[in-house]
Amino acid sequence: MAAVAAAMRWRRRLLLLVLSAAELGASGTPQTPNILLLLMDDMGWGDLGVYGEPSRETPNLDRMAAQGMLFPNFYTASPLCSPSRAALLTGRLPIRNGFYTTNAQARNAYTPQEVVGGIPDTELLLPALLKRAGYVSKIVGKWHLGHRPQFHPLKHGFDEWFGSPNCHFGPYDNKARPNIPVYRDWEMVGRFYEEFPINPKTGEANLTQIYLQEALIFIKKQQAAQRPFFLYWAIDATHAPVYASRPFLGTSQRGRYGDAVREIDDSVGKILDLLQDLKMTENTFVFFTSDNGAALISAPRQGGSNGPFLCGKQTTFEGGMREPAIVWWPGRIPAGQGIDFCPGQNVSGVTTHTQEEHTKLPLIFHLGRDPGERYPLSFASTEYLSALRRITPVVQQHQEALVPGQPQLNVCNQAVMNWAPPGCEKLGKCLTPPESVPEKCSWPH
């Protein structure tokens, strides 16, 4: 509960920052700032050198932290891809914006193509808010808020898109299951593993380089036009199956996952260097984070590190909710600012807890003494009872004020998969969908 509240407080602050900037920009002074949101996919708290990763293979992100502000206690709103992204772009909890399910197993990340739902029209997303202030917005990479045409990001405030509606799973056979499409704005330009190849054996793919060029070109274009912009760079190289381009494969001490992280770090360095070359740094707010913790089910070869924290993606323990986060805005945010913290001790051999109901007596940990969440406070202890007394009114207040959105992840239908996305006719890539049979989604994990 505390983690979610902290996450939403930060999102509200970010929205307030944007609103304030927009109001100031409208009056002419100072100039409206550009905004870059660099969102990683399944990157863990312990994956960056500045957070203690021992191989120190992220020099550009470490430099970004040294020149900006590091957030060691930053939380996502959900330990899963889609709900966290919906919360990030709306500033609202997943249960409010509809990115949740009432089906028995709630731990889903909207990975199946057959999910019927998506981001509701009633939700106001950050790019739509920024459009009112004259911003041009682009999403590069993974959208994951609905793959059907009515959920297209250009219908929710973005002006440009290059990327995919879902993750790069596959390759599929395109008979029972089509490969995921890649879009340029309104139309499909190919599919993963076909026009945009990913070698499942070697992990080689040029996607990060393609996404990097999309970002650099967009920044140069908006700078030349003197228009404020919002760039949402949501790449997915650290989501299993991880990939990297040939120059980075085999270069990390951390295997293929480390290769992907090294390429991301190099790309972030090139983006920051371009901002400096174009003399845009004092007018550009850059925020780097991840959608959720590292996916330990993919470790050790395909997954990252959550540092000293327990568990990872799909769990609400610290490893699933606490994310790396860096803000960079030279001239506005003093270099080297942040919060002093002790990284705690490494906790080995702990991967999960029993799935028990703890609504009435929730597990409570003292993270200062126990960052790995190995030792919950005793239910009978004075410390536990004192903490519970402070937490209970907050939970009750939240429950009383909660107005749930319509759940979007309940219904599945094979007929809504990516059989014939817009633009498939030009490519000769349209596939025939099966009969429409809506059914309750099954979440086997």
Pairing of strands 322-323, 229-234: unpaired
> Starting from the edge strand earliest in sequence, which strands make up the sheet with 181-184, in order?
187-191, 181-184, 160-164, 136-142, 229-234, 34-40, 284-290, 325-328, 69-70, 337-338
| Residue 330 · residue 66 · CB < 8 Å | no
Collect all residues with Cβ–Cβ distance below 8 Å to 238 and sequence separation of at least 6.
Answer: 40, 41, 42, 43, 47, 257, 260, 261, 264, 304
Query: Can you tell me the distance from the alpha carbon of 250 to that of 130, in angstroms, rounded to the nearest whole number?
Result: 41
| Residue 296 · residue 303 · CB < 8 Å | yes
DSSP 119-150: --TT---HHHHHHTTT-EEEEEEE--S--SGG
Given the residues 144, 152, 156, 168, select the one marked as catalytic. Answer: 144
Collect all residues with Cβ–Cβ distance below 8 Å to 193 and sequence separation of at least 6.
Answer: 168, 170, 171, 172, 179
Query: Can you tell me the distance from the alpha carbon of 65 to that of 47, in angstroms, rounded to the nearest whole number?
Result: 14
DSSP 21-34: HHHHHHHTSSPPPE
What radius of gyration do the chain's Cα atoms show? 21
Instruction: Give backbone dihedrals phi and psi of 352, rounded to 5 degrees, phi first.
Output: -160, 170
Pairing of strands 229-234, 34-40: parallel
9-to-6, 13, 136, 293 alpha-carbon distances in Å: 5, 6, 26, 19
Collect all residues with Cβ–Cβ distance below 8 Å to 139 and sequence separation of at least 6.
Answer: 127, 153, 158, 160, 161, 162, 163, 232, 234
435 SS3 class: coil
Say whether 144 is catalytic.
yes
Say whether 445 is catalytic.
no
Collect all residues with Cβ–Cβ distance below 8 Å to 36 and sequence separation of at least 6.
Answer: 230, 231, 233, 271, 284, 285, 286, 287
Token pair 């207040």 is found at: 397
β partners of residue 325: 289
Enzyme catalytic residues? 81, 144
